[in-house]
Amino acid sequence: MPALPFCPPPGAALSAHLACALLTMTCAAPAWAADSDLQAQAWAASCLSCHAPAARSASAVPALEGRPADWIATRMRTLAGSASEAGVMGQIARGYTDAEIVRIADWFAGQPKADAP
């Protein structure tokens, strides 16, 4: 009787492809993150609805681009941890993990500071 060719179970090829894709993304993520943190940029975009760049803002709400990352992160942590902060910013800050706050702060700190109008 001739030997039967090996037939992998259904879905095995797909599982192998998914495992390779996951491994590739995991290994490439640190290099990608160093170049541009697109997720942090997307989070920061929502901040800009109130914290508009200084060149376009005459508001009392501070512009964030070019500010030190430590200043932004500390302020967000303070707002997130304040039980008495019932404003919008406290609610928004509580929606981010500490790691996400750091990434948002780093993104804003890396942006050129806009000149005041």
pLDDT digits (tens, 9 = 90+) for 63-112: 899 999 999 999 999 999 887 766 888 889 999 999 999 999 999 999 98
User: In this structure, is residue 84 part of a structural domain?
Assistant: yes
**CATH at residue 63:** 1.10.760.10
Please give the radius of gyration of the chain, using alpha carbons only, rounded to the nearest integer: 22
Span 19-67, pLDDT tens digits: 444 444 444 444 444 447 999 999 999 898 888 776 565 667 888 999 9
Report yes or no on 75 lying in a domain: yes
Task: Residue 111: count other Cβ atoms within 10 Å of its Cβ.
Answer: 15
Residue-level pLDDT at 51: 86
The length of the chain, given as a count of residues: 117
Q: State whether residue 82 is helix, strand or coil.
A: coil
- Residue 76 placed within a domain: yes
For residue 72, is it within any domain? Answer: yes
Q: What φ, ψ does residue 10 adopt, rounded to 5°?
A: -55, 135
pTM of this prediction exceeds 0.75: no
Distance, in Å, from the CA atom of 46 to the CA atom of 87, rounded to the nearest integer, reads 16
Instruction: Report residue 61 as tokens.
Output: 């709400």
Helix/strand/coil percent split, the chain, to 5: 60, 0, 40
Asked if residue 85 is part of any domain, the answer here is: yes
Residue 81 inside a domain? The answer is yes
Give the domain extent around 47. Answer: 36-109
51 inside domain: yes
Residue 93 lies in a domain: yes
**How open is the CA angle 21-39-32, to the nearest 5 degrees?**
50
Other CB atoms within a 10 A radius of the CB of residue 80 amount to 19
- Name the domain count of the chain: 1
